[in-house]
Copies of this chain bind each other. A is one copy, B any other.
Amino acid sequence: MSVTIKDIAKKTGFSVATVSRVLSNKTGFFSQETANAVHKAAVELGYKKNMAATELVTQTSNVIAVIVNSTKTNFSNQIITGIQKKAAEMSKRVIILYAGDHDQVAQKIALTTALERPILGILLVSVDLYPKNLLLLKSAHIPFFFISISFKDTGLNYITSDDYQIGYTATKYLINHGHRKIGLAGLGIDPSDHTGNLRFNGYQQALTENNIAFQHDWLQIGDYSYESGLTAMKSYSQTNVTAVITASDLVGIGILNQCTKLGLNVPNDLSIITIDGTNLCQLVQPPLTSITQNFFQMGYLGTNYLIAGSKKNAYTNVQLCQRSSVKTYHFKNSI
């Protein structure tokens, strides 16, 4: 059928062993002449390696599987770019698997697609595995690493931003700009949303340090989606907040657009600082001030940790990008 090393062996007169050694570049096992002859024959015959055979015998491969959510939010591209970069540097290949969106079955399919072949390791980009699927993953004894998600007390390793720090920094920034009534929108604080909890804790800490009493209607929970932003803003219009921290850029834009509908101006009537800092921030008017996560680096370093077999968690730095969605009050906007 298709051309194999056996064909090359026949054509060149060498054994398949020699051909294999040349083709997989096991230096020191062949002469330059031999190598030339083999390579020449290979291109003439249009040889293409059959990785299935290689993976079968070596029980490893150079491909990293990346599992991503059918991305509501849009930062996965940056993470994947980082992954690709590092992978290319270490001459690894990467394949990407979509795990749907909170879809247990799709998640399992993606996982088994990865697991049922020899693979270097698995990178899980902001996917929260269902318990059953986590068991499946663990039982495979294949290295894995989570990116852009964190967990409490599980032994799982991840790289992400320091979400407590994010919550704290965003809040502090707003306070420094004279805000005292600050909302937090679009995330969850039940145990399943660890990220949400951390950000909320950082937010509360900053409030407390500045003697601001948290009011419960400042927190509008949600699922990081545009729609979360829209509905959150409806609630805020009944409150006295002057600024809100949004859990994702989409939430921020939801807030922004709901403001427009309500006849409110950003930043004059309401300030927004958003978490993520993807290019969406610069697409809307006004451009949104953001706590920008270093998604590229998450992917880059995460890949590195996966390959190195790191057993520790890591955090990437965030950066505050001032744009035009936060108003400065020179007097304290008191109670």
Chain A residues in the interface with B (C-beta under 8 A): 1-2, 46, 48-53, 55-56, 59, 63, 70-71, 74, 77, 80-81, 84, 88, 93-98, 100, 106, 109, 112-113, 115-118, 139-141, 226, 253, 257, 260, 279-280, 283-285
Whether the Cβ atoms of B48 and A56 lie closer than 8 Å is: no
Which of B2, B52, B55, B98 contacts A96, CB < 8 Å?
A: B98
Whether the Cβ atoms of B56 and A226 lie closer than 8 Å is: no
Whether the Cβ atoms of B77 and A71 lie closer than 8 Å is: yes
Determine how close the nearest CB of chain B comes to the CB of A92; give it in whole angstroms: 10
Which of B53, B80, B94, B283 contacts A253, CB < 8 Å?
A: B283
Which of B2, B48, B80, B95 contacts A95, CB < 8 Å?
A: B95
Determine how close the nearest CB of chain B comes to the CB of A101; give it in whole angstroms: 9
A-B contacts, 18 listed (Cβ < 8 Å): A2-B141, A48-B116, A49-B116, A50-B56, A50-B116, A52-B52, A52-B56, A52-B118, A56-B56, A70-B77, A84-B100, A94-B98, A95-B95, A96-B96, A226-B283, A257-B285, A260-B285, A284-B284
Q: How far is the CA of A1 from the CA of B141 in the complex (A)?
A: 11
Determine how close the nearest CB of chain B comes to the CB of A279; give it in whole angstroms: 8
7 more A-B contacts (CB under 8 A) besides A50-B117, A93-B113? A1-B59, A46-B139, A52-B55, A52-B118, A70-B81, A95-B97, A257-B283
Q: Is the interface of A mostly helix, strand, loop or mixed?
A: mixed
Residue from the set A49, A71, A116, A140 with the largest chain B CB neighbour count within 10 Å: A116
Q: Collect the chain B residues with CB atoms within 8 Å of residue A71's CB.
A: 77
Q: How many chain copies does the complex carry?
A: 2
Q: How far is the CA of A205 from the CA of B1 in the complex (A)?
A: 50
In the A-B complex, the 3 residue pairs with the closest CB atoms: A96-B96, A52-B55, A51-B117
Identity of the chain B residue whose Cβ is nearest the Cβ of A254 in the assembled complex: B283
Q: How far is the CA of A84 from the CA of B70 in the complex (A)?
A: 10
Whether the Cβ atoms of A51 and B257 lie closer than 8 Å is: no
Q: Collect the chain B residues with CB atoms within 8 Å of residue A94's CB.
A: 97-98
- Asked, given contacts A97-B95, A113-B93, whether A140 binds B48 with beta carbons under 8 Å apart, the answer is yes
Q: How far is the CA of A298 from the CA of B279 in the complex (A)?
A: 26
Whether the Cβ atoms of B113 and A95 lie closer than 8 Å is: yes
Q: How far is the CA of A272 from the CA of B84 in the complex (A)?
A: 36
Determine how close the nearest CB of chain B comes to the CB of A33; give it in whole angstroms: 27
Whether the Cβ atoms of B59 and A56 lie closer than 8 Å is: no
Whether the Cβ atoms of A117 and B283 lie closer than 8 Å is: no
Whether the Cβ atoms of B284 and A283 lie closer than 8 Å is: yes
Determine how close the nearest CB of chain B comes to the CB of A264; give it in whole angstroms: 13
Whether the Cβ atoms of A115 and B56 lie closer than 8 Å is: no
Whether the Cβ atoms of B118 and A98 lie closer than 8 Å is: no
Determine how close the nearest CB of chain B comes to the CB of A60; give it in whole angstroms: 10
Q: Collect the chain B residues with CB atoms within 8 Å of residue A63's CB.
A: 113
Q: Collect the chain B residues with CB atoms within 8 Å of residue A257's CB.
A: 283, 285
Determine how close the nearest CB of chain B comes to the CB of A288; give it in whole angstroms: 11
Q: Collect the chain B residues with CB atoms within 8 Å of residue A118's CB.
A: 50, 52
